[in-house]
Structure 1
Amino acid sequence: MLNTIKQGRNNSTTYKNLVEDLGCRLKTCVRPFYIVQGQKSRWTNQFSNLCDWYTHLLKNSPTRTIHIHVLNNTITANPDNVEYMLKTRFDNFPKGKPFSAILGDFLGRGIFNVDGDSWRFQRKMASLELGRVSIRAYSFEIVNQEINRRLLPLLQSVSYGNDVVDFQDVFRRFSFDSICRFSFGLDPKCLELQLPLSKFAVSFDLASKLSAERAMIASPIVWKIKRLLNIGSEKKLHQSIRIVHLLARELITQRRKHGFSDQKDLLSRFMSSDIDDETYLRDILPIGRPRHGGLRSDEFFWLVARHPDAEATILREADKVLGTNQGIKNYEQIRELNYLNAFVYESMRLYPPIQFDSKFCLDDDILPDGSFVKRGTRVTYHPYAMGRMEEIWGSDCLDFKPERWLREGVFFHENPFKFPVFQAGVRVCLGKEMALVEIKCVAISLLRRFRVELAHTENTPRFSPGLTATFRDGLRVRVRARSVNSSELTN
């Protein structure tokens, strides 16, 4: 088929007919249901989200593991299996070539998309840089500047009337500004709403979305043929990636021209480490783009609006730890906000920013629950479903309960293999602490100044597919100023 298409590329009519014929064949082969251990299920008839359907199937499996035959994908919500994949047999469950191919055009040979020696080298470099006190202080400085100079004035401006604002869009812009400043020393000014979104921001978001959609297609031959022909979504993806790469190249050129030794951003730090290859520098830059997208501040505030008692507890704790009308002064103070930390972790338990993550099995293997995994099989662990398993979290697993993360009022960490939101084991997320600092700074700064009211009160959020989970229709809220004047709060 691929050879036939190649031969027809010079004939536009033949070209179009071949593509349409391929689409018809695929629609015939890939029906709108999945075969799961011999059963057929039309998930859209019962569930709003695909992740809820997977949760249903995993709950009804005695081993909490299922196999999607048409996708050659073994999916598990069993903590023993997760530990086996991410720690015990780490080398047998790499990202794998299929995954690298899906994101390769976008992320290149960066740390998120490689295995083996290349991954080990990049991780060692990233660990050294991200573990420094100076880089954490720099991240804290950037986040607080973005909050005080842009986020708070923006929300203050919409708090006087009855305006509805999309918090998902606001926090997407906030996170993008912060990440670009931290990673590249570039300020795209996305939160200044009078300015149009930069080409870089638009292109990056579109490239992320279209790359993720590749993984949702039943057969990779679909997107590979579209890429070969440069049509449809693959044409848009190519154009978006081209813009992102052009900007990255320009940033590197400017750093070389004007010097980088006195700059604090991540790009300058890597260039100071005698890394000179332009493509390599471009590819390792995603280290500074946390996959957790600021840990989804929009989901945090959706839960805050639905749980006013928990919101009141957060505010009381802030007054006690930070002092009345005092903002967060330093990185260390954040660790003392135990209930806030518990709230953040509980929000991620029920609504993880990355709902599932996949590896590929190198050699035939048997998981701890007895499931046989054939070489080349995609193996997926499902944090979203794991957060809804009674044997992991108890009979109240569906309840939002920050207290489950506290012992005598002090926050404690659960076994990371039953809560693999930041991955776990060898490949645990390096940007975890900085992402947590961001959401806590945002939470305290906003909650002390504003009340957030949901414009729509759906009980079950609906998600769109992507590298991270997003609300399908955004998060529409009204922001109300509290009685305390924002000028009374000092940072």
Structure 2
Amino acid sequence: MSVPDLEFSTSLLLCLIPLLCFFLKTTLTNFFSSKAGKLPRSYPLIGSYFAIKANMHRRAEWTGEIVTTLPNLTFTLRRPLGHSQVFTANPANVQHILKTNFSRYRKGELMHVTNRDFLGDGIFNIDGEKWKFQRQVSSHEFNTKSLRKFVETVAETELSERLIPILTSAAANKTVLDLQDILQRFAFDNICKVAFGYDPAYLLPSLPEAEFPVAFEDATRLISERLNSPLPLVWKIKRVFNVGSEKQLKEAVRIVREFAKEVVREKKQELREKSSIGSVDILSRFLTSGYYNEEFVTDVVISFILAGRDTTSAALIWFFWLVFCDPRVEKEILREIREKSESPVYDEVKDMTYTHASLCETMRLYPPVPLDTKVAMKHDVLPDGTAVKKGTKVIYHPYAMGRVEAVWGEDWADFRPERWLEEEAAGDGEGKWKFVARDPYTYPVFQAGPRVCLGKDMAFLQMKKVVAGVLRRFRVVPALEEGEKPVFVSYLTSKMKGGFPVRIEERVE
């Protein structure tokens, strides 16, 4: 070997020794950390890629299991190429993110670009003036007068004329139904009627096959996979060449957007033909707001479908599963339903305290949106001392927050609506339940702060209407193998893997 070659080899070795030492130190540190059962192993360059990849199918459960073992309920997940994400189930951090430092934690350009193909500039994918405008216009439809009208007309009609007849037929014919599909159809019809003044008639006795709902389901799944990809470069390359999952996403989004555009065109035609419309819906407000752009209004339609279709149906399927597993709770709900049966339609569901608590308890264990992501606009330090660099994704974790023993007690895994209730003494000696709400930063199922969900009250009224209408007449019996349990999966919203097969039985008691 020549002298220059020897010098080069020696220099290369000297350069590699520190890198090798760093690699061994990191590997050993993370090995022992992993053995302690806390953070996943992380390696130079690739971070915790192997752990992330292995748990892609159960991301909410996996990260929830990690975060609830840590004293400050927060951890930083190292991703490939030096990127990281902060996961937190700490209420003080959640308040810091969603309220105290609201302007510092936003959707951000990275999130906007990732979700743009599907959600565009809809309210769930933007910040700033466009977000404020959409929220302001939408807020007019969530006052008490509108909520009463929704329950007494839209929800009542969809329940009595569509859902109940389908369940009655299934009970008579001993048919197995996919309740997840049925409730998604119900919620889809509801949100289209109340937000757009449009009836897609998706919940009919024939349970018609339709291209849009299938495409919508595919789009939410594929955009979620894109959002959580451990190597974003992969989906970006696939999009450039229009192959694989990106080709599927493009086709699904095309179908979804065509449906939404058709809804917008029909509403525009209706507004042109009528000098005044008796009932003003959200879509009409946007079209007459003076800020009209077809693509933008199409984004609004898609966002409302996502909010109205997937969230309430997700909560209800887990509610029916948990109530079936606990006859004591079912008995108490039935008692309340029968007590309220003579009340006016709106008052009946508004005052169902025990049922309301049962729904809150359901969403504590199975939140419709189990994880929500913000992006730090500046360097920051969370209240628990966690350092956050500018551009870092910070994910608050409703799924994990419902499983924190220090907050919910040793029985956190139990379905117990009473944890939301206090018993008030009545004049006749009979106790009466009083609902006790939790701090929204401890229970951020509907977000909190300036972006708190506008449709929260409407969602509860709709869910209680379904519960009262269904349980008053039927038993919902899961059609699963003995010992089998539904599997929780989450995309943009949570679902039961493979649906929720049930048998419907008429009540005889």
TM over 0.5: yes
1:423-443 CA-partner distances (Å, limit 9, x unpaired)? 011110111111111110000
Cα pair distance change 1:287/1:358, threshold 3 Å: same
Number of the residue aligned with 2:75: 66
Distance (Å, rounded) in 1 between the aligned partners of 2:55 and 2:188: 35
CA contact (8 A) 1:359 1:378 kept: yes
**Which of these two proteins has the greater Rg computed from alpha carbons?**
2
Number of the residue aligned with 1:277: 293
Alignment pair present for 1:257 and 2:269: yes
Number of the residue aligned with 1:15: none
Give the drift of 1:78. Answer: 0.5
Number of the residue aligned with 1:488: none
CA contact (8 A) 1:48 1:462 kept: no
Distance (Å, rounded) in 1 between the aligned partners of 2:148 and 2:503: 33
Distance (Å, rounded) in 1 between the aligned partners of 2:234 and 2:320: 38
Number of the residue aligned with 2:463: 439
Give the drift of 1:108. Answer: 0.9
Number of the residue aligned with 2:114: 102
CA contact (8 A) 1:103 1:113 kept: yes
Cα pair distance change 1:251/1:452, threshold 3 Å: closer
Cα pair distance change 1:258/1:399, threshold 3 Å: closer
Q: Bigger shift: 458-467 or 364-373? A: 458-467
Give the drift of 1:123. Answer: 1.2
Distance (Å, rounded) in 2 between the aligned partners of 1:359 and 1:422: 15
Distance (Å, rounded) in 2 between the aligned partners of 1:186 and 1:201: 15
Distance (Å, rounded) in 1 between the aligned partners of 2:54 and 2:218: 29
Give the drift of 1:392. Answer: 1.2
AA paired with 1:145? T
CA contact (8 A) 2:123 2:135 kept: yes
AA paired with 1:305? F
Cα pair distance change 1:478/1:47, threshold 3 Å: farther
Pick aligned residue for 2:357 from 330, 338, 342 = 342
AA paired with 2:508? S
Alignment pair present for 1:472 and 2:488: no
Give the drift of 1:45. Answer: 8.9
Cα pair distance change 1:83/1:185, threshold 3 Å: same
Pick aligned residue for 2:454 from 427, 430, 442 = 430
Give the drift of 1:206. Answer: 1.9
Distance (Å, rounded) in 2 between the aligned partners of 1:42 and 1:256: 50
Number of the residue aligned with 2:146: 134
1:354-383 CA-partner distances (Å, limit 9, x unpaired)? 111010111111000111111111100111
Give identity over the alignment, percent.
Answer: 39
Distance (Å, rounded) in 2 between the aligned partners of 1:35 and 1:350: 23
Distance (Å, rounded) in 1 between the aligned partners of 2:368 and 2:137: 25
Q: Bigger shift: 246-255 or 367-376? A: 246-255
Number of the residue aligned with 1:293: 311
Distance (Å, rounded) in 2 between the aligned partners of 1:208 and 1:140: 31
Distance (Å, rounded) in 1 between the aligned partners of 2:467 and 2:399: 23
1:244-299 CA-partner distances (Å, limit 9, x unpaired)? 22233333333333326415432123223334322222122245332652152111
Distance (Å, rounded) in 2 between the aligned partners of 1:43 and 1:205: 24
Q: Output the TM-score relative to the length of structure 1.
A: 0.85
AA paired with 1:230? N
Q: What SS does structure 2 have at the residue aligned with 1:397?
A: coil
CA contact (8 A) 1:346 1:401 kept: yes
CA contact (8 A) 1:74 1:377 kept: yes
Pick aligned residue for 1:313 from 308, 332, 341 = 332
Pick aligned residue for 1:375 from 382, 385, 390 = 390
Cα pair distance change 1:391/1:268, threshold 3 Å: same
What value does the CA root-mean-square deviation take over the aligned residues? Answer: 2.5
Distance (Å, rounded) in 2 between the aligned partners of 1:239 and 1:357: 26
Q: What SS does structure 1 have at the residue aligned with 2:106?
A: coil
Distance (Å, rounded) in 2 between the aligned partners of 1:140 and 1:420: 29
CA contact (8 A) 1:361 1:377 kept: yes
Cα pair distance change 1:255/1:165, threshold 3 Å: closer
Q: What SS does structure 2 have at the residue aligned with 1:355?
A: coil
Cα pair distance change 1:173/1:356, threshold 3 Å: same
CA contact (8 A) 1:387 1:393 kept: yes
Number of the residue aligned with 1:385: 400
Q: What SS does structure 2 have at the residue aligned with 1:62?
A: coil
Alignment pair present for 1:186 and 2:184: no
Alignment pair present for 1:91 and 2:103: yes
CA contact (8 A) 2:189 2:199 kept: yes
Distance (Å, rounded) in 1 between the aligned partners of 2:448 and 2:104: 15
Distance (Å, rounded) in 2 between the aligned partners of 1:140 and 1:52: 38
Cα pair distance change 1:43/1:240, threshold 3 Å: closer
Q: Output the TM-score relative to the length of structure 2.
A: 0.82
Distance (Å, rounded) in 2 between the aligned partners of 1:363 and 1:47: 29
Q: What SS does structure 2 have at the residue aligned with 1:233?
A: helix
Give the drift of 1:134. Answer: 3.1
Number of the residue aligned with 2:474: 450
CA contact (8 A) 2:52 2:230 kept: no
Cα pair distance change 1:340/1:195, threshold 3 Å: closer
AA paired with 1:410? K
List alignment gaps of at least 5 residues for structure 1: 1-32, 485-491
Cα pair distance change 1:110/1:50, threshold 3 Å: closer
